[in-house]
A = this chain, B = another copy of it.
Amino acid sequence: MSNYAIGVDIGGTNTKFGIVDRNGEILYQDRMLTNEPDDVQDFVDELYEKLAPMIEKYGGHENFIGIGVGAPNGNFYTGTIEYAPNLKWKGIIPLAKLFHDKFKLHAKLTNDANAAAMGEMMYGCAKNMKHFITITLGTGVGSGIVIDGKIVLGHDGFAGELGHTIIRPGGRLHPGTGIRGSLESYASATGVRETAIELLSKNPKEESLLRDYSINDLITSKTVYECAIKGDNIANEVFNFTGQILGEALANFILFSSPEAIVLFGGLTKAGNLILDPTRAAMEANLIKIFKNKVKLIFSELNEADAAILGASALVWEK
């Protein structure tokens, strides 16, 4: 009997991976940069180099049931990644096959955000919920939608791309998609940084701690947070603006599937109430009466990397 599964979470910046047992315990985990290897084969090879010694340590291939992978635009039905805007691998990539060929293990792929939702449903704060939506606020904005206890995949496996919904028509251009005004252009780490730079240039005379950082690389959602908790006006305004847009978008999602909760993951959630309060206010203000004060807006209780690795590994536990 196989005792272990491998879970891999491919994000726009980092790839996290781990070895998971049947009880959902992560026995080993590590990470690598997603876009550093030149192409996708190099990426798979490099990941294999890192995992091979651990596979040996845990009893070799025959002790592993398979490898589950979550990746942007990952398609559960076909095992391919198609045109992922945040990755440098272009076109249609047969990722499940590449993993299978290299690792000689049963390989299953899904959207990275769907994997996180699955992890949350199996081990996190959505454990007893049949209707919820997870939103990952990371390099990009991902989403996993659960209805009646099942991940929504759609007719072709690509459902749940809520980061690309339009919330400011004609607004900020998304360099990866060429579309204006999508949620991801505002509520991602990149979006927060861009909002900070915009507010600084729009208010050239207003003092701000953010002006001590170089625009080129030091203004990040982390530095904005650090300035905001020191009471910096512009930094706080960045979170209010981001929360306003995110909250409006969440109201739209609620109108679709009427979930019991929305679970927020990812880097931006480290800003705590600075982002949660304006988001909740805008969400409630844009809901029709039947939905008001009903839907829980919560942060994931799981460590973000854990949720994604656990969720990805769950793909191969479930047959």
Q: Is A135 an interface residue (CB 8 A)?
A: no
> A288 touching B252 by the CB < 8 A rule?
no
| Residues A257 and B131 in contact in the complex (CB < 8 Å), given A147-B147, A252-B165 | no
Specify the chain B residue showing the minimal Cβ separation from A130. B155
| Residues A255 and B164 in contact in the complex (CB < 8 Å), given A248-B169, A290-B73 | yes
Q: Is A177 an interface residue (CB 8 A)?
A: yes
Q: Is A317 an interface residue (CB 8 A)?
A: no
| Residues A256 and B166 in contact in the complex (CB < 8 Å), given A147-B147, A288-B179, A289-B83 | no
Within 8 Å by CB of A258, from B129, B154, B289, lies B154
Name, among A145, A158, A167, the residue most crowded by chain B CB atoms within 10 Å (CB to CB).
A158
Question: For residue A156, which residues in chain B have a CB less than 8 angstroms away from its CB?
Answer: 258, 294
> A155 touching B167 by the CB < 8 A rule?
no
Q: Is A93 an interface residue (CB 8 A)?
A: no
> A154 touching B166 by the CB < 8 A rule?
no
Within 8 A of B (CB), among A109-149: 129-131, 145, 147-148
Question: For residue A294, which residues in chain B have a CB less than 8 angstroms away from its CB?
Answer: 156
| Residues A155 and B177 in contact in the complex (CB < 8 Å), given A161-B288, A166-B252, A169-B167 | no
Q: Is A209 an interface residue (CB 8 A)?
A: no
> Chain B nearest CB: distance from A127 CB in Å?
15
| Residues A290 and B82 in contact in the complex (CB < 8 Å), given A169-B248, A248-B169, A251-B166 | yes
> B145 touching A290 by the CB < 8 A rule?
no
> B291 touching A158 by the CB < 8 A rule?
yes
Q: Is A152 an interface residue (CB 8 A)?
A: yes
Q: How far is the CA of A157 from the CA of B147 in the complex (A)?
A: 12
> A155 touching B290 by the CB < 8 A rule?
no
> B145 touching A256 by the CB < 8 A rule?
yes
Interface residues of A (CB under 8 A from B): 73, 82-83, 85, 129-131, 145, 147-148, 150, 152-162, 164-169, 177, 179, 248, 251-253, 255-260, 285-286, 288-291, 294
Pull 14 A–B residue pairs with CB atoms less than 8 Å apart, ordered by A: A85-B289, A129-B155, A145-B256, A145-B257, A147-B152, A148-B150, A155-B260, A156-B294, A158-B290, A160-B255, A161-B291, A166-B167, A166-B286, A177-B288
